[in-house]
């Protein structure tokens, strides 16, 4: 089936690292995405990773992909209060990058000062 699973809530202290985990179901997915949603706002693309990569780093963000286990993670280094938001993992169904983008239920990240 089409299912992307995420834990619902994560709380960290400012300055710590945050790790948000996601599992997906479509082994033929070629692109996997992380989006951020702040309260009352739309979805902001944070980063994405191709399925032939194991890791992608972009400033404070590190994405790890384990294709065998269909597991994706997003690590935010030196987490700031401005990182408080809902983070969505998403996969594109099928081997093309132009099809259905299916989202997980989102992980609410709370950053305590």
Which spans of this chain sit near other proteins (rule: CB under 8 A)?
33, 35, 41-45, 48, 88, 97-98, 100-106
CB-nearer residue toward other proteins: 41 or 53? 41
Q: Within 13 Å and on the Cβ side, how many CA atoms surround 64?
A: 10
- Residue pair 8/109 in contact (Cβ under 8 Å)? The answer is no
d(CA 85, CA 107): 8
Minimal distance, residue 59 CB to other proteins, in Å: 17
Yes or no: say if 111 and 83 are a contact pair by the CB < 8 Å rule. Answer: yes
Q: Which is nearer to other proteins, 14 or 56 (CB)?
A: 56
Task: Between 83 and 104, name the residue whose CB sits nearer to other proteins.
Answer: 104
């Amino acid at each position: 089936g089409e299912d992307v699973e995420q834990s619902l809530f994560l709380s960290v202290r400012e300055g710590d690292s945050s790790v948000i985990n996601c599992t997906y179901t479509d082994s033929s997915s070629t692109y996997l995405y992380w989006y951020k949603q702040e309260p009352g706002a739309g979805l902001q693309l944070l980063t994405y990773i191709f399925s032939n990569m194991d890791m992608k780093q972009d400033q404070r963000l590190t994405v790890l992909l384990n294709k065998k286990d269909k597991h994706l993670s997003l690590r935010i280094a030196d987490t700031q209060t401005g990182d408080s938001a809902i983070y969505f993992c998403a996969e594109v169904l099928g081997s093309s990058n132009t099809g259905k983008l299916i989202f997980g239920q989102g992980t609410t990240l709370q950053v305590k000062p």
